[in-house]
Amino acid sequence: MVDEQKKEVSLLGFIGLLHTDGENPRGYSQPAVEFEDHIYQFWDICNDFNIERGYYSCESYTYILHECNLDYIYCNPLPIQYTTESLDGVLRILGNETSKEIDVYIDYPEDGGIPIFTYGEHPRCYVAGCEILEENK
């Protein structure tokens, strides 16, 4: 996918976006979800890469939620993120039809998933490492 406006090229795979190359390159590993005429997916950032361990290792990971149009073009970061030393599970993005908000869990709530945050008109964090960022207007 090509975003002419941002001068970016994105590679799609079975989970949604895999990688975006341009001025601000980013990789994705968590599955994408369609909700309310948008696609939501996390940009995964490796913090403090440690090559001395002899394998791919990060001191922590930051996940920034992105919102894209249905063509996976015009993707923009939302002002909420989650940082953790390790992610034991998969970040699940669930659209709440009633509240029109996005709920994020580690794994599915019906399987004992851990709520991380809710994003919408009034964003809320539920765990340490979640941060609501100031919106750039």
End-to-end, the C-alpha distance of the chain in Å comes to: 26
Look up the pTM and report it.
0.85
137 residues of the chain, pLDDT tens digit each: 888 888 989 888 888 888 889 888 888 888 899 999 999 999 988 888 766 665 567 888 999 999 999 988 888 999 999 999 887 888 999 999 999 999 999 998 888 899 999 999 999 999 999 999 976 44
| The pLDDT of residue 136 | 47
Q: Give CA separation, 64 vs 9, 29, 44, 46, 61, in Å.
A: 19, 12, 7, 12, 10
Give the tens place of pLDDT for each residue, 3-19: 888 898 988 888 888 88
CB distance 28 to 17 below 8 Å: yes
Contacts of 77 (CB under 8 A, 6+ apart): 43, 64, 65, 66
- Strand residue runs (E) in 1-137: 2-3, 8-13, 16-21, 26-27, 33-35, 38-49, 58-68, 76-84, 91-96, 101-106, 114-119, 124-125, 130-132
CB distance 34 to 94 below 8 Å: no
